[in-house]
Amino acid sequence: MDFSPIGRVCSFCGVVGTQDTKFSGGLGAMMCADCLSYYYEISQSPARIAAVSRPPWEGMSDVEMLSMLPLISATADQVAAFLEDWVQLARARKISWREIGKALGVSRQAAWERFAQREVPSRDSSVSPG
Ligand SMILES: [Zn+2]
């Protein structure tokens, strides 16, 4: 699993990480240091919290709204890749497809079909879920 900030995307502003970018994050969502500072400042003031508590799209033009779509898509892709990485890590620990499927609320077969193509083949790998 790549832990580098290079190519990571801030899930709040869309900035793409470089070697020098500092991110905080979890579960695939990332927050750059600038956003972390911005939202920390907001969190310190009830008036500022109230000011940003309405849906962001309400004040957006159509162009602004459309400009958000690639940023949301990049975050979705990042979260999906994070999930794939974690499944791969679970498989490296020999956790079964049945257990992975159960954790995700799907069948063993569904988990295998979704994630097995990224699994690093081993000598004893087969074409069906194990
Ligand atoms: Zn950011």
Ligand 1 centroid vs 92 CA: distance in angstroms? 32
Ligand 1 centroid vs 16 CA: distance in angstroms? 9
Sign of CA dihedral 119, 124, 129, 130: negative
Taking the complete model, does pTM exceed 0.85, yes or no? no
Q: What is the predicted pLDDT for the residue at 111?
A: 97
| Band of pLDDT at residue 37, cut at 50, 70 and 90 | very high
pLDDT of 82-120, one tens digit each? 999 999 999 999 999 999 999 999 999 999 999 998 776
Ligand 1 centroid vs 58 CA: distance in angstroms? 21
Ligand 1 centroid vs 7 CA: distance in angstroms? 13
Sign of CA dihedral 59, 61, 64, 66: positive
Q: Taking the mean position of all CA atoms in its chain, how far away is CA 130? A: 26
Residue with tokens 């695939």: 28
Ligand 1 centroid vs 85 CA: distance in angstroms? 23
Ligand 1 centroid vs 91 CA: distance in angstroms? 32
Ligand 1 centroid vs 90 CA: distance in angstroms? 29
Ligand 1 centroid vs 47 CA: distance in angstroms? 22
| Band of pLDDT at residue 70, cut at 50, 70 and 90 | very high
